[in-house]
Amino acid sequence: MSTRSVGQQSTTERGEQGSDDHEAESSGHGHGESNLGNPVKEATVRMVSDDEGYHFIAHLVHVEVGGTVRWTNDVGMHDTVAYHPDNGRSLRMPADATPWASDLLHMMEPNSYEHTFDVAGVYDYFCTPHEQYGMVGRVVVGDPDLHDQPAMADPGDDLPSEARTVVEEFNHQVNDTLHTH
């Protein structure tokens, strides 16, 4: 697994440059279309502050096992942090996967962060300064069995109200699209 912050241009460990051809946008919160059910090798998620609030666009992406997600900061200061006890949050990702936590990304400095996902599963993440406003996202990796995924559990009171609402929407989307029995 690899993670790193990079400047304007992203390059994977294999030397491939990120491509807009692999961007996927989510239908969660009305921000574009989801690639859920059609995993890609690479996905780009934009971190956005706008008149509608604070968002990850796409909110929900689906990558292959070994796939990479690159988060880019468009405006403001944001980070991407996995819901994991190592990051001071409840577990909302596969227990055997390594959690990630980027530094705060500024518009002018390294403004992107990459993480490669080597374990199939469902991963929830958040922006530390904006979690309370519902700035959370989800990565589905491979073709996971949804029954034992911590991220598919009811978030209860573990998350701020707006983040909880978004996660509940993710659960419905993932179940509706990927649940086979």
Q: Render pLDDT for 34-59 as a digit per residue (tens, 0 to 9).
A: 789 899 999 999 999 888 889 999 99
From the list 59, 91, 90, the residue with the least C-alpha distance to 166 is: 59
Q: pTM of the predicted model, to two decimals?
A: 0.82
Distance CA 113, CA 5 (A): 4
pLDDT of residue 10: 34
Q: Render pLDDT for 4-22 as a digit per residue (tens, 0 to 9).
A: 444 333 333 333 333 333 3
Q: Render pLDDT for 147-166 as a digit per residue (tens, 0 to 9).
A: 999 999 999 899 999 999 99
pLDDT of residue 14: 33
At 181, the amino acid letter reads H
**Domains of the chain (ranges plus CATH)?**
3-178 (2.60.40.420)
Token pair for 141: 């990796």
